[in-house]
Chains A and B, each alone.
Chain A
Amino acid sequence: MNIKKMYSKSEAVAGGGTSGAGTETPKGNRAGTSKPMKNPFQSMTWQKAAWIISLLILFAVPILVSKNSTLFMLTNIFIWAVFAMSYNLLLGYTGIISFGHAMFFGIGAYCFALMARHIPQGELGFLFAFGLTVVICFLLSLVVGLLSLRLRDTFYALITLAVATIFVIIAEQWRTMTMGNDGFNFTAMLSRDLFGFIDLLDRQHVYYIALIFLVSMFVVLKRFIDSPVGRTLQAIRDNEDRVSSLGFAVLNYKLISNIIAGVMAGLAGVVYAISIRFVSPDSVLGVENTIDVLLMTVIGGVGTMLGPIIGAGVVEVSSHYLMGLSHIHPIFERWVILFGIVFILIILFFPAGIVGTINQKLRGKKKEGAS
């Protein structure tokens, strides 16, 4: 039968279309014309090459760039990118808004900071911080999800905000443990020969930790998004009631999404603490951090794989330079306000974000080329 033939043809096209960015792009017109696709954006090799070159450049950066401040900024972009990716799993792929996602990030950061302070042996504290973060974030996201996800989505937003606020208060009040609002620095406690080859005070080393962390989280998330569960989540985002009428227990899927997002944000928090060597309620736990990842996700492109990474880059770099302009006018110190304006403009004019808009443009071209 020719269905089979058409089917296998579309497979090839679909393979080319399954890029890192944007998973929901239609892959050309299966039964339309059978013209060969000449668009280079669709060829597998072009894409693979782009990925490999980007990765090579990123891995070569510490060799080419010696300025620590640049490495530091890139490192933080990678970490915030993972944090934003985890947020995007909720917002972009599941369709739920959290106002308390920073609690996981903060928990991870505090876990590492407290371990660094209290467990002198580097390796043990290091591994313990990661393990503890995973356990706490897993349980917390499970409980918060069970409490709120069976209700309306707005309820989830409010519950997460409330629980996150509780964690901020704990961090502020439990002074003996956390040094309260001031937070604490633990640079002196960081190991210089972790596992015999990692120097946590060397910006290059931390850069590589963050880059490898980003790449591995990207691969894990991409895999998850393309799994049957991930596909179901995207359907839940579109039309939750219909998913349940297909026979899926929607609550369980939302819980899975919530747990993966929570654990991923927690891990990002650990790596962030390694990078900035300082924690305080404001810098890692406060609701501003959630707003930041929300911004990054929306600016970069909700529901795309690359969006949060691009968004993290844009927000980090521009906030850095905007703050540098504060001697010209104090408004620049309040760069969040400026971002608020940018945010509104983006929602009005580019609701798909940077990556989403590019995807749409490519898709438009593809359609033209096919017909």
Chain B
Amino acid sequence: MDTSASVKSTDSLQGDERNSERNKIIETVKLTKSFGGHTAVSDVSLSIFDKELKSIIGPNGAGKTTFFNLLSGQMKPTSGEIFYKGNEIQNLPPHKRTKLGIGRSFQITNVFPTLTVLENVRLAVQAKHNIHYSMFRHYKYYKHLEEEAYQSLEKVKLEPKAEHLASSLAHGEKRKLEIAILLSLDTQLLLLDEPTAGMSVDEVPQIIEVIESIRDQRDRTIILIEHKIDLVKHLSDTIAVLFHGKKLADGSPEEIMNNDQVQSAYLGGLYNDAED
């Protein structure tokens, strides 16, 4: 493999040019999260630029999901700061961060099992439209909510199951529902935690297509956690590597693929895993 790290990319979004032109949408400063004695995220300072697609890779247990939990507010950092559009947000509860424009999907499927698929998504649309304390109107009064929810389901090809209970879905379908919920929130920043994990071979391309089309519109920012390296290479503008909770590298796909440290610490082994 070519190990020279100085290969210049031809992509217009790469390199120094991007850093100077684009604003940071979210930035972490020395972000740390410890569970008892174990530090899952350690001193991570990372900037994500507006409208880019950044992937975060790293072996199992590297702290990727924990990093997301810190960004979206499910967990409070032990130390360090998070800035979203220049404002400190590490002390805000999850719902306020979502309102600011940080939406996420979960690695472990996290839907509403006793509600229908459509209702799962409709709630996200309801949240997006700020219909919060309406108590005396029937929910069907807000017709456009269901229509929008339906459109999100179509994007992930789940509309045939709209009226099924979420608990009755197959695993891959639940993963799609997870994504449909996130899409419905219509946030500026999308955090996708292994969106294609557990999907069947014919479902994966559908989801990749969805992610690609969002990226190609270039009107929002995506942070993607993903193990499938080919996919990451193909989709990402930049890639950050976490290893034992620390940021090991951060750069363009070429830089990362050719980084010796990354190679020895992670990629070599992972490629072998991914082959089977």
Does A associate with B in a complex?
A: yes
The answer to whether A245 touches B95, judged by C-beta atoms less than 8 angstroms apart, is: yes
Chain B CB within 10 Å, residue with most, of A29, A226, A235, A256: A235
The answer to whether B163 touches A232, judged by C-beta atoms less than 8 angstroms apart, is: no
CA distance A223 to B137 in the complex (A): 7
CA distance A30 to B117 in the complex (A): 11
The answer to whether B134 touches A249, judged by C-beta atoms less than 8 angstroms apart, is: no
Residues of chain B within 8 A of A227, CB atoms compared: 134-139
Contacts A247-B99, A249-B95: A238 and B123 contacting too (C-beta < 8 A)?
A: no
Chain B CB within 8 A of A244 CB = yes
- Report which of A231, A238, A241, A256 forms a contact with B133, defined as CB distance below 8 A: A256
The answer to whether B93 touches A244, judged by C-beta atoms less than 8 angstroms apart, is: yes
CA distance A228 to B95 in the complex (A): 17
The answer to whether A235 touches B123, judged by C-beta atoms less than 8 angstroms apart, is: yes
CA distance A27 to B119 in the complex (A): 12
Query: Shortest beta-carbon distance, B71 to chain A, in Å?
Result: 12
Residues of chain A within 8 A of B72, CB atoms compared: 245
The answer to whether A7 touches B123, judged by C-beta atoms less than 8 angstroms apart, is: no
Contacts A227-B138, A228-B139, A246-B185: A24 and B150 contacting too (C-beta < 8 A)?
A: no
The answer to whether A24 touches B127, judged by C-beta atoms less than 8 angstroms apart, is: no
CA distance A245 to B99 in the complex (A): 9
Q: How big is the B interface, by class?
A: 35 or more
Residues of chain A within 8 A of B136, CB atoms compared: 223-224, 227
Residues of chain A within 8 A of B73, CB atoms compared: 245
CA distance A228 to B132 in the complex (A): 7
The answer to whether A232 touches B162, judged by C-beta atoms less than 8 angstroms apart, is: no
Encode contact with A along B122-136: 1 for CB under 8 Å, 0 otherwise.
Answer: 111011100111111
CA distance A237 to B110 in the complex (A): 13
- Report which of A27, A31, A226, A239 forms a contact with B139, defined as CB distance below 8 A: A226
Chain A CB within 8 A of B164 CB = yes
The answer to whether A244 touches B139, judged by C-beta atoms less than 8 angstroms apart, is: no
Q: Tell me the residues in window 228-272 of chain A with beta carbons closer than 8 Å to chain B beta carbons.
A: 228-232, 234-235, 237-239, 241-250, 252, 256
The total number of A-B Cβ pairs within 8 Å is 121
Chain A CB within 8 A of B142 CB = yes
The answer to whether B163 touches A245, judged by C-beta atoms less than 8 angstroms apart, is: no
CA distance A241 to B106 in the complex (A): 11
* Closest Cβ neighbor of A231 among chain B residues: B139
Query: Shortest beta-carbon distance, A220 to chain B, in Å?
Result: 9
CA distance A10 to B104 in the complex (A): 30
Residues of chain B within 8 A of A244, CB atoms compared: 93-95
Encode contact with B along A301-320: 1 for CB under 8 Å, 0 otherwise.
Answer: 00000000000000000000
The answer to whether A247 touches B95, judged by C-beta atoms less than 8 angstroms apart, is: yes
The answer to whether A29 touches B123, judged by C-beta atoms less than 8 angstroms apart, is: no
The answer to whether A246 touches B132, judged by C-beta atoms less than 8 angstroms apart, is: no
The answer to whether A228 touches B126, judged by C-beta atoms less than 8 angstroms apart, is: yes
Residues of chain A within 8 A of B89, CB atoms compared: none
The answer to whether A238 touches B112, judged by C-beta atoms less than 8 angstroms apart, is: yes
CA distance A323 to B31 in the complex (A): 66
Chain B CB within 8 A of A131 CB = no
Chain B CB within 10 Å, residue with most, of A26, A28, A238: A26
The answer to whether B112 touches A242, judged by C-beta atoms less than 8 angstroms apart, is: yes
Given known contacts A24-B165, A227-B136, what 12 new A-B pairs fall within 8 Å (CB)? A7-B147, A10-B163, A26-B163, A31-B162, A226-B139, A227-B135, A227-B138, A228-B126, A235-B115, A235-B123, A246-B95, A246-B127
Where the two chains meet, the residues of B that have a C-beta atom closer than 8 Å to any C-beta of A are 72-74, 93-95, 98-99, 104, 106, 110-116, 119, 122-124, 126-128, 131-140, 142, 146-147, 150, 154, 159-165, 181, 185
Where the two chains meet, the residues of A that have a C-beta atom closer than 8 Å to any C-beta of B are 3, 7, 10, 24, 26-32, 223-224, 226-232, 234-235, 237-239, 241-250, 252, 256
